[in-house]
Each structure stands twice: as C-alpha cells, then as structure tokens.
Chain A
Amino acid sequence: MGAWIAKNRTTVIVSVAVIVAAYAFYYLKNDIAPSMYVSAWGYAIPLVLAALVGVIGERSGVVNIGIEGQMLVAAFAGFFAAAYSGSLLVGVLAGIGSGLILGGFLAWTTVKWRMDQIIAGVVLNIIATGITSFYYQPGQLLPGLMPKFDIWPLSKIPLIGEVFFSGTSIFATLAILAAIGVHVALFHTRWGLRTRAVGEYPSAADTAGINVERLRLINVTLAGTLAGCAGVYLSMDASSSFERGMVAGRGFLALAIMIMGAWRPLRALAMAIFFGFINAVASQLQAGGSIDIPPQLTGTLPFVVTIVVLAIAAGRVRAPGAVGQPYVKGDQ
C-alpha cells in the first residue's frame, strides 16, 4: 500500500485534492452542487462506456473512430426493436447485438483485410448515419421505462451514494463496473497482459506464441457490446426516443476522454466525470443568469477547459505502441 502510494504519488495527490474539493463544494453549495454532480455523472455515463470501447480497441492495437457510428446504430436498433417487439429486453439485446456486429465489422476489415483503421472507422460512421437516417421511423414509443433502483447500502454514503448509487440504472451501474472490470482485466489478468502486448508490440506477442489476429478480432468485436450499451443507454435510458444524429458527437468526445485518461479505464472514468462536471458548470453559468455570458460562449467552456488542462498538466501521454498498424507477419 505504502509502495503503491509512493509509486502513484501524483495520482494520489490529485485524487485526494479532487475528492476534498468535491465534498467541500457539496456542503457549501448544497442547493446546486448535488444536482450538478448528478448531471455530471449522467453526462459521463455514455462517455465512459464509449471510452472503454476505445481503450480496449487501442490497447489491442486497433484505433476505433467508429464508436460514434456504433453508438448511433445501437441506439437505433435498441429503440426500434423495443418499440416493435414491445419488450425492453429485446431492445437492449438488439442494441448490444448491433454494437457487437459493427465491432465485428471493424475488426474484420482492419484485422483480416488490413484495411486502414481510420478509414474503416470513417466508413462505419458514414454508414451508420446513412442507415439510421434512411430507415428512421417517426411515431414509435418505448413499451416502458428502464428500471431505476438504489444500490443499498452504497446509496447511503453521502454524496457518492447520492450521485452514483441511488435512483441509478443498469447502464449507469454498468459504466462503473465496466471501468473497474476493464481496469482489472487489463492490468491484472492473462488476457490483459496479452492484449497490451498485442497492442504495444505485436511481433513480441506473436513470437511468444500469442495469436495476434485472433486476439484483436475478439477484443474489437466484443468491445462493440460496450458501444452497444452506450447507444442503448442514450435512446432507452437517458431519453426515451431515437432521433437522427442523437449521439451528437459523444463518440468522438469519448475518444478524447480515452486519450485524456491515458488509455487507462479508471482514469478515463475520472476524466469523463470531470468533463461532465465542466459541462454542468457551463449550463449552470447560463442558467444562473447572474453573469451575462452568451450561452454560445459558456457552451464552449468544457472544451476550452479540456485544452487548457491538457496543455498545462498533461505532458506526453503515450498511445499503445502499435496502435493503428495492422500486424503483418514476416513473410507477407
């Protein structure tokens, strides 16, 4: 423990400082702070899920800029499957399934066909926009609401319980569990070691007897399910409708979150919440009306803050070494 703290001094200091500040604000501005935290977390949920898709893909050596498209199709498929079948479960499964299929598409084209990963992602996004717009149907309704619940006893913790564990939903809970799960899996399991090796230095993995192509195929495909969850969350949980273009750039923001999180799941979780919080601050500035800043300018706050924070603090985070490159064995 002591050694871990020594090794991660900056992380520990930053985390403690952030947590202290968060509680201070919570107790000092009790009229608005809780709602801002809730809003921040609500904003962060799809970003976390989507950023994890990016993390898994890039840790395996595959850039996924098609997350936006994966989410869009999943939101579409989930919503309409639920509407037509009359079952939320069917919708959720359809959404996750569509994420899986698109993950498979990205995996197959980039790994098997060695298509440029950026191009594959761009293609995926265009197709997703086209299809969901083309086959959009107005006037459909979800058969019901996604369940909300409290996670006792965590929900009793001041602030944290209120924000993360009460009145929460499956996907909100999943976002936390997935971030922890992917972190543990990536850094503490056999799969994770192999995945990181494949993403950093595939020929080292290959010569160690690891099937690089297969691992990449599996990872990128399965990560699609998380993109599916993010999409389903948007159309079935955070709102109850599907609209064209409703992902509204969240897939790309997730990539930014992934990079800000230095390709680490828990850090990405922290960054998504941070980003969500700045968003809440931005709309609070607008709503508060005390200072008269045009909403267009307050709206840019999260983006300005992100850039400034990165410029001051970030320094050089390093992408997985082999990201973007198809693995070609010696003789091909």
Chain B
Amino acid sequence: GCGGSTGSSESSAPAGSAAPGAPTDDSNCADEAVFCIGLVTDTGKVDDKSFNQSAHEGALEAQKQTNGFYKYIETQDAKDYAANMAQFTNKKYDAIVTVGFLMTDATLEAAKANPGTRFIGVDQGYDPAAVPGKNVTGLIFPEDQAGYGAGYLAGLMTKTNKLGQVLGLEIPPVQKFAKGFEAGAKAANPAVTVTTVYHPAGDNAFNDPVWGAGEAKKQLAQGADIIFGAGGNTGNGALQEVAKAKGAGTEVFCIGVDTDQWDTVPAAQPCLITSAMKLITEGVTETLVTAKDGDFAENQTLGKAGLAPFHDFESVIPADVKAKVDEVVKQMEAGTLQTGVTL
C-alpha cells in the first residue's frame, strides 16, 4: 500500500528520480541496457491518495527493482493524454504507465504508433479486437470480488441489517466495488438493506471529504452500522466521520477501499475493520518488472484484489465470521464463486 508515505511523492520534487547507480537522466533511454519508465496520470496528481498515487508508487518501486529511470507527467486536461505520452515516446522510453480508464483509447493509439514501447494501462480493459500488438497490456482488477468480500463481512457483522455506501463518481471501478459490496452483503445476509449514494457529477467528486462525511453521518443516523467509503478523498471523508461517531469500533464500523486504509487514513482506525483492496501498486510494479524482462502479458493483466488485514479488529470480529469470509474469498480466487456483477 502507500502507507508510510515515504515522501517519494512530494509534488515539488523533480519528476525524474533515480536509485544509486541508476541512470540520472533520460538521454539514453533508447539504449537497450537503460530501462526508462514514464507515467502519465489521469487528470490528477501523483499524491492524490488514490489510483494515481498507487500507480506512481508502483512505478517508483519498479524503478528501484530494475535499476532504471522514472519520470511522470501530471495531466491537467483530458485532451493532453496523447501529447503527454508523446513526451515519453519521443525520448524512447521503454515502458509507459497510463493511469485510469479514461485513457483507454489514447493508450491504444499510442501503442499502435510506438510498437517499440510497452504500455501498461491501469484500470483499462481492452476489447481484444482493438489491441494493436503485443506491446500493450491493460492492468485490471476484480474490484467486484474485493467489494463482495467486504460486503460479505459487513453482512455478517451488521446488527441493524442496514449498510451504507458513500461513493465517488459513478464510474466503472467504483460501480464494481459498490455492486460487489451489495451482492456480498445480500449473499451473507438476505435481510440486509444497502443504502448507496454516489457523489453527483462534478469536478471534485473524488475530492469532497465534506460531502462524504455528511452523507456518512446521515446514513448512520438512519440506522446503518457499517459504512463502505469508496471514492478517493470523498470516501475517506465518510470513513473519518464514522470514526468520530458514537460507538465507533464497537457498534458502528467502516470499510475502506483500494489500499489498506489502516495505513493511508489513520484517522479512520477507530472504526476501520478492513479495506476492499485493489493492489495497483503491486500490480504496476510487477507488470513493469516483467515488461523489462520481456515477457509481457499482452492485452490483459489481472491484478490482485482482496481484503486487507483486520488489524486491531482481529479480536473483535467473531471467529466464525472470519472463517466464512475466508471461505468466500478463497472460492472467488478459485473461480468457483461468481459475484454476478455486471455494469
């Protein structure tokens, strides 16, 4: 996870950085021996505590492991995707990470134009017919499975049979988490009702912790006792609100998303029983490392998703609940259990 915040992601630090002995600039990227990694964010920044940051940290780690070179560009305008990727391809970077499903088309086009460069599209599921060659892979995650596991846990834990979800924008990754959560909860406990609110469309749908907190408060007041906060900082606002509520950690709980938010949102610890994880950082690192070695899974790479450790709630959650959740997670990994989520 991005816990511990090593400071590597300070926005004011130069984008290019290098491990000892690694290349110090990108003048030799064309060289076979020099592995250059570029990253283009979705409109957002590498310290957004969300998918951009996770991917960025994954790339940093990959740079260390490959002893390569790494740089990023923070996109400000969705119309700059191509131009930003071109900055890297012009310098003959070896691998380029593009973050977010909005860049799907732009990534495929760039891959087509630059067969010598490997592209990794985070959260991008490609239509196999559209994939131009072996130099591009979409890194996708079974968010619905993570959501399902978390929902299953919540369904077993709830006393009021009311669950809440405070979500970011209604976009595919978020929807998959949310629908998975609902399906899991219902599977565990048919009596449960799940209240779901997405942030209404807006530029700050993932950056509105105040709205998230307000919605969480309202859901608690209406009887929900476990809240799933999934939507960047908006969701984090919800987690923090639950952590402040009366009975936090004993009667009301919260569930985080994406990474183990025990580390990323310490303020949520009083209520945070687990997080529905989507291991972007690890996924990006692994894919980049394999990309350097040359055996690159074309078209699609399935990243990992799952539940974070229970941390302090290890003792709070009954053993039989843990066992049941474990069982469900195993079944999903084995492919014997389908979440049934479609968009």
Q: Do chains A and B touch in the complex (CB under 8 A)?
A: yes
Chain A interfacial positions (CB closer than 8 Å to B)? 31-32, 34-36, 38-39, 42-43, 46, 133-139, 141-142, 145, 234, 238-241, 243-246, 248-249, 280, 282-283, 286-289, 295-296, 298-300
Q: Which of B205-247 contact A (CB under 8 A)?
A: 207-215, 217-219, 221-223, 233, 236-237, 240-241, 244
- B318 within 8 A of partner (CB): no
Q: How far is the CA of A299 from the CA of B241 in the complex (A)?
A: 22
Known: A138-B5, A248-B211. 6 other contacts (CB 8 A): A42-B217, A134-B12, A241-B237, A248-B204, A299-B200, A299-B201
Q: Which candidate, B82-90, B190-198, B326-334, is the interface stretch facing chain A? A: B190-198
B9 at the interface (CB under 8 A from A): yes
B168 vs chain A, min Cβ distance (A): 11
- Residues on the A chain within 8 Å of B237, using CB: 239, 241
CA of A299 to CA of B125, assembled, Å: 29
How far does the alpha carbon of A56 sit from the alpha carbon of B39 in the complex, in Å?
Answer: 47
B203 within 8 A of A: yes
Residues of B within 8 A of A34 (CB): 221
Q: Which residues of A contact B202 (CB under 8 A)?
A: 248-249, 299
- Kindly state the separation between the CA atoms of A175 and B215 in the bound complex, as whole angstroms: 20
Q: Chain A residues near B223 (CB, 8 Å)?
A: 31
Contacts from B to A (Cβ < 8 Å): 5, 9-12, 45, 47-49, 53, 164, 170, 195-204, 207-215, 217-219, 221-223, 233, 236-237, 240-241, 244, 266-267
What residues on B are CB-neighbors of A280 within 8 Å? 218
By the criterion CB–CB under 8 Å, are B210 and A238 in contact?
Answer: yes
* A286/B196 in contact, CB under 8 A: yes
7 A-B pairs closest in CB distance: A299-B200, A35-B221, A239-B209, A139-B5, A248-B204, A39-B218, A243-B233
Residue of A nearest to B264 (CB): A139
Contact A287 B210 (CB under 8 A): no
In the complex, are the beta carbons of A246 and B200 less than 8 A apart? no
A141 CA to B236 CA, complexed, in Å: 13
With contact pairs A38-B217, A43-B214, A240-B267 given, residues A245 and B209 touching in the complex (Cβ less than 8 Å) = no
Question: Chain A's nearest CB lies how many Å from the CB of B263?
Answer: 10
Check A31–B222 contact: CB distance below 8 A: yes
Closest Cβ of chain A to B270, distance in Å, is 10
Residue of A nearest to B5 (CB): A139
Contact A42 B201 (CB under 8 A): no
Among candidates A39, A137, A239, A295, residue contacting B170 with C-beta atoms closer than 8 Å: A295
Asked whether B45 lies within 8 Å of A133 as measured between CB atoms, the reply is: yes
Q: A300 to B201, alpha carbons, bound, how many Å?
A: 9
Contacts of B221 in A (CB 8 A): 34-35, 38-39
B198 surroundings in chain A (CB, below 8 A): 286, 295
Known contacts: A239-B212, A240-B267, A287-B219. The answer to whether A295 contacts B207 by CB under 8 A is no
Contact status B195-A138, CB under 8 Å: no
Contacts of B236 in A (CB 8 A): 241
Q: Is the CB of A300 within 8 A of B200?
A: yes
> Taking CB as reference atom, which chain A residue is nearest B265?
A241
Check B5–A35 contact: CB distance below 8 A: no
Q: Contacts of B266 on A, CB cut-off 8 Å?
A: 141
B207 near A38: Cβ-Cβ < 8 Å: no
Contact A289:B196 (CB < 8 A) given known A142-B267, A248-B208:
yes
Can you give 23 contacting A-B residue pairs, CB < 8 Å? A35-B219, A35-B221, A38-B218, A38-B221, A42-B214, A135-B12, A137-B10, A138-B5, A145-B244, A238-B210, A238-B214, A240-B240, A243-B49, A244-B207, A245-B207, A246-B208, A246-B233, A248-B204, A248-B208, A286-B197, A287-B197, A289-B195, A296-B170
Q: How far is the CA of A245 from the CA of B203 in the complex (A)?
A: 9
How far apart sit A243 and B44, CA to CA, in the bound complex (Å)? 12
Contact across chains for B203 and A239 when beta carbons are under 8 A apart: no
Contact of A239 among B11, B218, B240 (CB under 8 A): B240
- A243 and B237 CA atoms in complex are apart in Å by 10
What is the distance, in angstroms, from A30's C-beta to the closest C-beta of chain B? 11
Min Cβ gap B75→A in Å is 14
> What A residues does B197 contact at CB under 8 A?
283, 286-287, 295
User: Which residues of B sit under 8 angstroms from A134, Cβ to Cβ?
Assistant: 11-12
A114 vs B207: C-alpha distance when bound (angstroms)? 35
A239 and B210: CB pair below 8 A?
Answer: yes
Chain B, residue nearest A42 (CB):
B214
A208 to B169, CA, bound (A): 56
- The reply to whether B209 and A296 contact each other, CB–CB distance below 8 Å, is no
In the bound complex, how far is the Cα of B210 from the Cα of A136, in angstroms? Answer: 18
Distance, CA A145 to CA B240, complexed state (A): 11
Are B208 and A36 touching (Cβ within 8 A)? no
How many whole Å from B170's CB to the nearest CB in chain A? 6
Quick check: A239 and B213 within 8 Å, CB to CB? yes
A248 touches B207 (CB 8 A): yes
Question: By the criterion CB–CB under 8 Å, are B214 and A39 in contact?
Answer: yes
Contact across chains for B240 and A241 when beta carbons are under 8 A apart? yes
Between B210, B214, B222, the greatest number of chain A beta carbons within 10 A of the residue's beta carbon is seen for B210
CA distance A321 to B222 in the complex (A): 47
Once the chains bind, are A241 and B267 in contact (CB under 8 Å)?
yes
